[in-house]
A and B are shown apart, each in its own frame.
Chain A
């Protein structure tokens, strides 16, 4: 059902877990549907994503799609991160059963939410500084 790359990555995800000091978090899904995904990013002052991690409640492809999303994120600018599409993730997964293609879209949405969360947090901080 799943190719070797997916199985290997599922067994040994490289970016699973929480991320200390993350300044952007993107959450997608709810437990009713069976998939909940969180992607954490750490963005430096120059706007480069220096680290990314994920947590996922879901099947094999959900976990692998998130792991790949994190790998794609690291080293990218926020603008480039927003350009990562579900197709980019599917390409890295090589072959995915039709019924599991949605997992790449979940990961894409989580990326977008994480970047958006980073911008929101930054805006809030800047406003606070101005008020002070």
Chain B
């Protein structure tokens, strides 16, 4: 078969060889239960401790024991929202989040609403930014938690996390951020940014699927989501997934170690892609913030073209992209993120997310733009919408 180019790295990445090498011994050589007292257990426990140290160091946590391993970003988001809301329910039952969060946050908030909590879903502007004034106005006496994602997964907009955390603390409110798309893309320093709780995941940064963590500052209370053991300081039950945790620790270490060089590469790939698209294809719009965004994610709307049809044609040409987040790409509704940003439906319907990795070459981009130009032209030639109709 022909050429293949993977431009869906915001959905997931492959496991890098450095990470895999870290994981492999943990499947059969070091196979103890990290909770066991004997030498097999202690060996596994040492692996977990090292991963915990690596992650704590990478995000500048004050202590390694502030890292709690989970089954991934979704569990960590669910845990943060429900666990913190429940732990502080005697103080109040109001939570503030944004309309463009990942569904792991939004759906957890929906569940809390069913339990009688009140949730404010802050709007965003056309670039995907939460308005700080809106945030301040939405704070109430009974607000206990503010959760705003660091980097949006569909358009790549970077929120003003430090300012938001500062405001939260001025009002004595706990601040959580979903930083799944942020690690390795922007500097994360939980002490400097005054973050109380933060979600991370391994599989977006060349680590394995099925593992993530919640950073929780010491002194912040949380109710357990998963019970059944004394693991993770009795806050999250379940035998630890040692190979995945080992890989996760290594992946975070590498992502933060190589952040400058990776971002330089990603920026030049992204800029070259955008230049080529602008040269070759008409009636294209860039969604998201013009500057305050990560280098790895580009969200484009193609006029007169349906996103599903374009995704499938590109797939037939060996190019893997996504329409919004992978979790919602099977649904027909337009993306909740683009909707919240006020993007017209007809443009949201033609939106495609391209997410790059450092390994994409110039010739890969040339190939992608070549087939993109061809496939967009093909769909426009049979589209029932016309330029005249749009103008």
Chain A residues packing against B (C-beta within 8 Å):
1-2, 7, 10-11, 13, 16-17, 27, 29, 31-38, 54-60, 62-63, 99-100
- A62 and B345 CA atoms in complex are apart in Å by 18
CB-nearest residue of chain A to B390: A31
Q: Which residues of A contact B349 (CB under 8 A)?
A: 31, 34
- A99 and B383 CA atoms in complex are apart in Å by 21
CB-nearest residue of chain A to B310: A59
- A27 and B385 CA atoms in complex are apart in Å by 11
With contact pairs A7-B312, A60-B309 given, residues A55 and B382 touching in the complex (Cβ less than 8 Å): yes
Query: Quick one: which of B313, B334, B345, B382 contacts A16, CB cutoff 8 A?
Result: B382
- Count, A-B residue pairs, CB within 8 A: 65
Majority secondary structure of chain B interface residues (helix, strand, loop or mixed): loop
Majority secondary structure of chain A interface residues (helix, strand, loop or mixed): mixed
Within 8 A of A (CB), among B311-341: 312-313, 316, 330-332, 334
Q: Which residues of B contact A59 (CB under 8 A)?
A: 306, 308-309, 332
Q: Which residues of B contact A17 (CB under 8 A)?
A: 381-382
- A123 and B346 CA atoms in complex are apart in Å by 36
Query: Quick one: which of B309, B332, B345, B389 contacts A63, CB cutoff 8 A?
Result: B309
Chain B residues packing against A (C-beta within 8 Å):
304-306, 308-309, 312-313, 316, 330-332, 334, 345-346, 349, 381-385, 389
Q: List 16 A-B contacts (CB under 8 A).
A: A1-B330, A2-B312, A10-B312, A13-B382, A27-B384, A31-B385, A34-B334, A56-B382, A56-B383, A56-B384, A57-B305, A57-B383, A59-B332, A60-B308, A62-B309, A100-B332
Assess the B331–A36 pair: CB atoms within 8 A.
no
- A93 and B383 CA atoms in complex are apart in Å by 21
Q: Which residues of A contact B312 (CB under 8 A)?
A: 2, 7, 10, 60
- A6 and B384 CA atoms in complex are apart in Å by 20
- A37 and B385 CA atoms in complex are apart in Å by 9
Assess the A37–B308 pair: CB atoms within 8 A.
no
Q: Which residues of B contact A11 (CB under 8 A)?
A: 313, 316
- A17 and B306 CA atoms in complex are apart in Å by 16
Q: Which residues of B contact A34 (CB under 8 A)?
A: 306, 332, 334, 345-346, 349
Q: Which residues of A contact B345 (CB under 8 A)?
A: 31-34
Most chain A beta-carbon contacts within 10 A, residue among B305, B331, B334, B349: B349
Assess the A99–B382 pair: CB atoms within 8 A.
no
Closest chain-B Cβ to A93's Cβ sits at a distance in Å of 15
Assess the B346–A31 pair: CB atoms within 8 A.
yes
With contact pairs A10-B309, A59-B308, A99-B332 given, residues A38 and B381 touching in the complex (Cβ less than 8 Å): no
Closest 4 CB pairs of A and B: A59-B308, A36-B384, A16-B382, A55-B384
Assess the B346–A32 pair: CB atoms within 8 A.
yes
Assess the B313–A37 pair: CB atoms within 8 A.
no
- A99 and B330 CA atoms in complex are apart in Å by 9
Most chain A beta-carbon contacts within 10 A, residue among B313, B330, B345, B383: B383
For the complex with contacts A34-B349, A55-B382, A60-B309, 12 further pairs of A-B residues with Cβ separation under 8 Å are A1-B330, A16-B382, A17-B381, A27-B384, A36-B385, A38-B384, A55-B383, A55-B384, A56-B384, A58-B306, A58-B309, A59-B306
